Amino acid sequence: MSRGERGAGRRAELLAPAGDWECLRAAVENGADAVYFGLERFNARMRAQNFTAADLPELVAFLHRRGVKGYVTFNTLVFADELAEAEQYLRTVIAAGVDGAIVQDIGICRLIRGISPDFPIHASTQMTITSAAGVAFARDLGCDQVVLARECSLAEIAKIQQTAASAGLPLEVFVHGALCVAYSGQCLTSEALGGRSANRGECAQACRMPYELIADGEVVDLGGRAYLLSPQDLCGIALLPELVRSGVASLKIEGRLKSPEYVANITRAYRQALDRIEVADDLASPSAEVRYELEMAFSRGLSTGWLEGTDNQKLVHARFGKKRGVRLGEVLQIEGSQVGLLPDAPVKPGDGVVFDSGRPEQAEEGGRIWTVEHRQDRLWLGFARGEIDWRRVRVGDILWKTSDPQLDRQLRQSFAGDAPRFQRPLGLRVWGRAGELLAIEGRDEAGQTTRVLSTLPLVAAQKQALTDERLAEQLGRLGGTPFYLGALVNQLEGALYLPVSELNRLRRELVEQLLALRSRPRRWQMLPATPACAPPPAAVPAGAPELIVLVRSQEQLDAVLTGDIRTIYCELEDGRQYRRAVQRAHAGGAALWVAPPRIYKPGEDWLLDQVRSSGADGYLVRNYDHLRYFASDPCVGDFSLNIANPLAAAHWMESYGLRRLTASYDLNIQQLTALLKTAPPEWFEITIHQHMPLFHMEHCVFCGFLSEGSDYTNCGRPCERLAVRLRDRVGDEHPLKADAGCRNTVFNARAQSGAEAVHHLRAAGARYLRLEFLDESPEQVVRTIACYRQLLNGTLSGTALWRELQLLNQLGVTRGQLPG
């Protein structure tokens, strides 16, 4: 690609991933307006190759010469003992002149504003922003752009955009790439099962693994579908006109661990589509050729994700959880080292394929095609002798094309070498009169300008006057530069002449000056000192310990009320039962706080109305809309607010007047202790017993696999009839629950206990300790609370507690996220 029909009227930025220099060049040479990249610390792609801080000056200069912005991903939670390092890292980033940082941690947003008043902050999708209240929260925090959660539909994006536009805050949405099944920032699976936190850039992709569906104790036969939590990849190219018309400012391509060929392929397709929209303000569905290239880039199947709304029959096909590519067809015959089929896509010698026998968790047969011939009414594909174990290939297998070397070569050519291949418009204005010097002003697409003057005066033309055509011919010779000639304004007075050699010199000088101007790093304000790492508060002896219990059924509530627990949290699937629960708690002399659904979407105020009508004593707030809706009520911040450091904690407490905060589940005992030493310990609740909520999803497994409906309107509500668990590869059965908003949570099969860490936490000042129950019987609830009472009284050790409960519950109790 040398150039596109691009100009100043572009309405949306195309944002591409850049994991290394090759990916960076692939994005730039295929038309990205901006790239995002991680450094060696504090980014959510720690398993990927990343740039280093030392790369920043060269990287930023290269991008800016090419008219491309660069955003650093600083999108992980940061612990209290890392803030000093984070501050120095941020100062390096800001001084390098990058165009902004994509940030998850609210404390880091505050830290950046303490360092620089004007450095751009983009609220990461890890902030789980799904509503106008979330956008307003980000604005008040000092953010300059918001990346919405990928679960937002076009209709929801349009509603949110109305508020965002009035607040002057641009929105960014994902348009292509892998989809996490769980809300970003709300997935604790890797943390719970493998000690690798997704909020720390170490996702283990448990969603791509197979699971058995267990309903009321029986395995449900799903006909070979086992990848129940693995969404198809997002492909929003056909919806670009609606996204552009909605006013979205940035369209983002996902690229975790992807190759430069992938970056080139997807960036090129979306660049060309956006250019066509600029011309026609519309776009038909992508051509068969474009769709083929998109599928070959990387595909687990392509869908529009949640952009067209929730359809639980389409989002997850559950056949496989890894890259497939393009479907070639079903194997109809096998003869020697050849297979016959009716092809669904083009194929040629050298292409790589894999045979899909319906068991993707096992090693699969595959290789490169050696011969292609038409015989009878079929296409026969031949393979080299010994390449395929034909004992493992069957008629009926699906053949997938996973590699197209010819396409890969074409893509590599798009970014090979040092000469710019993608060009952006350079507008020129030329003026002068006879006897004076010729002046040329150049203006790039970002509005930067420079001016050059001839060394020779203009003279009256005898021939070869500087007409529009002649000026365009000479000044438009911009090959090997990042520019092509855009608008040319000729303001010469009369028929004038200047030697071609002088015009060429002026062109070269103007380009050099403009490139030098573009290469200058952005100069953001930098304050000499920040309040980021303030001295720790004076030590305050911990008050008497208080156990707080969360229950999820009326029976559990009744069991808790038989003891001496004074504060109870309640989370029920049916919000209509809250009023009754509050009445029972008050009759038992306890305060009952209600936990509304963890996610809020536009139009769901009725759920919050239902919660408030219960007359609860307070609310466990879990998102930005809860803060808005329950602003005048007593509130405690839940773990979903991702509070990992004192800066984040101070923001919630000081700006929203919360009673307490729940520490993030990403913190181990050392990190919790550091938090308690750098912020008032009485601010925090620490959950020491729970079934970890692994995946929290818009995807409804009940609807997708236990009904034929698309959503809650036509699914028949199997969640109300069946007890469902997902059995993983090691045999653990993880409970699946639906909330009042029809969102699903997969909970860890094994309860986690931080009992062994309690004495350390108490010594650090922790006072409020929470126990959470899931589906335990009333008897188990009573016994568990009694054990923790004994722990706090010193009559039972932490080790004895979890061992005793293991025997009692027969669930197996791990020591959870608390050990270091």
What pLDDT digit, counting tens, does each position of 491-513 carry?
999 999 999 999 999 999 999 99
Q: Of 403, 739, 722, which Cα lies nearest the Cα of 552?
A: 739
H or E element, residue 398: strand 398-403
Average pLDDT of every residue of the chain: 92
Rounded to 5°, angle at Cα 514 from 508 and 517:
145
- Residue 189 confidence (pLDDT): 86
d(CA 634, CA 408): 59
Domain regions of the chain by residue span:
13-175+236-286, 326-413, 433-519, 546-691+750-809
> Average of pLDDT values for 733-739?
97
CATH fold of 13-175+236-286 reads TIM Barrel (3.20.20)
Write down how long the chain is. 820
Confidence band, pLDDT 50/70/90 cuts, at residue 346: very high
The CATH code belonging to domain 326-413 is: 2.40.30
Q: What is the DSSP letter of 640?
A: G
CATH fold of 546-691+750-809 reads TIM Barrel (3.20.20)
> Average of pLDDT values for 178-188?
93
Write a three-state SS string for 201-270.
CCCCCHHHCCCEEEECCEECCCCCCCCCCCCCEEECHHHHHHHHHHCCCEEEECCCCCCHHHHHHHHHHH
* Cβ 220 vs Cβ 289: under 8 Å: no
R_g of the chain computed on alpha carbons: 30
* Cβ 724 vs Cβ 738: under 8 Å: no
Confidence band, pLDDT 50/70/90 cuts, at residue 282: low
- Residue 814 confidence (pLDDT): 40
pLDDT over 70 at 274, yes or no: yes
d(CA 58, CA 442): 25
Pick from 275-289, 342-356, 385-399, 528-542: least confident? 528-542
Rounded to 5°, angle at Cα 738 from 735 and 739:
130
- For residue 486, give the amino acid letter: G
- For residue 408, give the amino acid letter: D
For tokens 């008043």, the residue is 117
d(CA 353, CA 798): 54
Q: Of 587, 656, 586, which Cα lies nearest the Cα of 621?
A: 656
pLDDT over 60 at 9, yes or no: no
Shared fold status for 13-175+236-286 and 326-413: no
> Average of pLDDT values for 612-640?
97
Q: Of 100, 106, 91, which Cα lies nearest the Cα of 141?
A: 106
* Cβ 39 vs Cβ 94: under 8 Å: no
